[in-house]
């Protein structure tokens, strides 16, 4: 199923690729940087203990209201206006920290997401949109989130709390040098280093998505870590440059081909398409060892 919101850096375009790389065996699934939740909503429910986490308090409040008060939220949104004046009023109200009921706060934030440019929540998009078309998505999300634990924690505290040998963490942090794109989240270069330390010393398994840049490649060039290069459509650039791709990395502490190697375990994605996808993987580092392809590319750049 789809998420009920769009979000900066959302993984709608990569969700099939990410799910195809899930480990075979785990009983806890934790999203440390939940955002739009596109991977969470795309994976099947009910097979594991699920945790959604995000540091943005307005986003977490929205998720909780969708799960616990969907009809009240829909009622609050029913007569919303797609107007610049209303957008600026809601944005300033949330920025001021004014005390308003949780459902109204959730409705304001949802409107900022839907009516802003590229879901930035700070710039009015000026595009036609029917809020009523989102109501079925909110009701579907309510049902999907019923057994999901919703947290609002720093990622390091979250990892310490939920890390077990049977835990699997999917992490989609603010990308390197794009941290200021995210509202109400202060993520610094030190936090990138702190995240790498927490992940590379955990008991469980992790899959991490990042922008492909030298700094992140170097940060995760460690023993026991796999780095894979991939790409997706650059959604924002499509208006000006159709077909433009965005380079990303998928980083893990396990071999992401293990699921495709066990045909009998294929339960939540199509075997043929996933097999083709994984056979085309571009592995840069395999368990800390630089591949021949990566060495040749490095030499060519020099």
Backbone phi, psi, residue 56, to 5°: -75, 115
Please name which of 21, 18, 25, 16 lies closest in space to residue 48, comparing C-alpha atoms: 25
Pick the range with the lowest mean pLDDT from 73-77, 93-97, 116-120: 116-120
Residues 294 and 157 in one domain: yes
The verdict on residue 276 lying in a domain is yes
Q: How many domains does the chain have?
A: 2
Q: What contacts 239, CB < 8 A, 6 or more positions away?
A: none
Structure tokens at 195: 């995240």
pLDDT tops 90 at residue 240:
no
Higher pLDDT, 162 or 180: 162
Q: Is residue 6 part of a domain?
A: no
At 289, which CATH number? 3.40.50.150
> pLDDT tens digits, residue range 258-284?
776 665 454 555 544 444 454 456 666
Contact 176, 216 (CB under 8 A): yes
Distance CA 181, CA 184 (A): 10
What pLDDT, in 10s, does the model give residues 151-171? Answer: 999 999 999 999 999 999 999
In a domain, residue 5? The reply is no
- Following DSSP, what letter does each residue of 39-75 receive, concatenated? HHHHSPSSSSEEEEE-S-HHHHHHHHHHHH-HHHHHH
In-domain check, residue 225: yes
Q: Tell me the average pLDDT across 16-45.
A: 93
Q: Say yes or no: 77 and 112 in one domain.
A: yes
| Nearest of 37, 250, 251 to residue 151 by alpha carbon | 37
- Last residue in a domain, options 127, 144, 161: 144
Is 3 inside any structural domain? Answer: no
Task: Give yes or no for residue 238 having a pLDDT over 60.
Answer: no
User: pLDDT value at position 205?
Assistant: 96
34 domain-assigned? yes
- Residue 2 in 3-state DSSP? coil
Q: Do residue 195 and residue 115 come from a single domain?
A: no
Determine the Cα–Cα distance for residues 260 and 279; give it in Å rounded to an integer.
9
Is residue 104 located within the same domain as residue 172? Answer: no
Please report the sign of the dihedral spanned by the C-alpha atoms of residue 48, residue 49, residue 55, residue 56: positive
DSSP secondary structure string for all residues of 228-276: EEEEEE-TGGGGTSTT-EEEEEEEESS-TTTTTT-GGG--SS-HHHHHH
Q: What's residue 188's pLDDT? A: 86
What range defines the domain where residue 179 resides? 15-52+153-301
Quickly count: other Cβ atoms within 10 Å of residue 243's Cβ.
8
Residues 272 and 210 in one domain: yes
pLDDT at 87 > cutoff 60: yes
Mapping DSSP to helix (H, G, I), strand (E, B) and coil, where does residue 9 land? coil
Distance of CA 90 to the CA centre of its chain: 25
State which of 94, 124, 144 marks the end of a domain: 144
My answer on whether 43 and 73 are in the same domain is no
Q: Domain end: 94, 123, 144, which one?
A: 144
Residue 206 lies in a domain: yes
The residue-averaged pLDDT of 211-239 equals 80
pLDDT, greater one: 275 or 4 = 4
- In this prediction the pTM is 0.83
Q: How many Å is the Cα radius of gyration of the chain? A: 20
203 plus 138 within the same structural domain? no
228 and 294 inside one domain: yes
What is the share, in percent, of the chain residues with pLDDT greater than 90?
60
Which of 47-61, 112-126, 277-291 shows the highest mean pLDDT?
47-61
Q: Are residues 129 and 229 located together in one domain of the fold?
A: no
| Domain shared by 197 and 268, yes or no | yes
Mean pLDDT within 63-87: 97
Let me know whether 137 and 238 are in one domain: no
Q: What is the DSSP letter of 124?
A: B
Measured in Å, how far apart are the chain's first and last C-alpha atoms? 45
Mean of pLDDT over the chain? 84
pLDDT at 10: 73
Q: Environment class of residue 147 by beta-carbon count within 10 Å: exposed (0-12), middle (13-18) or buried (19+)?
A: exposed
Q: 215 with 71, same domain?
A: no
Residue 172 lies in a domain: yes
């Amino acid at each position: 199923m789809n998420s009920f919101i769009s979000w900066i850096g959302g993984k709608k375009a990569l969700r099939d690729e990410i799910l195809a790389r899930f480990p075979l065996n785990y009983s806890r699934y934790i999203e440390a940087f939940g955002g739009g939740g596109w991977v969470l909503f795309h994976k099947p429910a009910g097979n594991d203990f699920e945790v959604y986490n995000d540091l943005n308090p307005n986003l977490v409040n929205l998720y909780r209201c969708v799960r616990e008060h969907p009809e009240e939220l829909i009622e609050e949104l029913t007569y919303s206006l797609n107007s610049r004046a209303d957008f600026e009023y809601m944005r300033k109200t949330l920025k001021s920290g004014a005390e308003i009921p949780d459902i109204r706060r959730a409705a304001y934030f949802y409107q900022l997401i839907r009516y802003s440019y590229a879901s930035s929540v700070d710039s009015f998009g000026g595009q036609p949109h029917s809020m009523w078309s989102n109501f079925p998505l909110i009701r579907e999300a309510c049902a999907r989130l019923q057994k999901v634990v919703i947290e609002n924690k720093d990622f390091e505290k979250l990892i310490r709390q939920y890390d077990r040998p049977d835990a699997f963490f999917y992490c989609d942090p603010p990308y390197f040098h794009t941290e200021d794109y995210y509202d109400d989240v202060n993520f610094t270069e030190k936090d990138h280093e702190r995240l790498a330390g927490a992940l590379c010393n955990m008991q469980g398994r992790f899959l991490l998505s990042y922008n492909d840049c030298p700094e992140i490649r170097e940060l995760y060039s460690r023993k026991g870590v796999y780095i894979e290069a991939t790409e997706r459509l650059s959604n924002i650039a499509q208006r000006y440059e159709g077909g433009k791709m965005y380079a990303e990395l998928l980083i893990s502490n396990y071999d992401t081909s293990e699921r495709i190697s066990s045909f009998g375990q294929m339960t939540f994605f199509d075997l043929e398409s996933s097999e083709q996808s994984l056979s085309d993987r571009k592995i840069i580092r395999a368990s800390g060892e630089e591949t021949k392809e990566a060495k040749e590319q490095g030499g060519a750049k020099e």
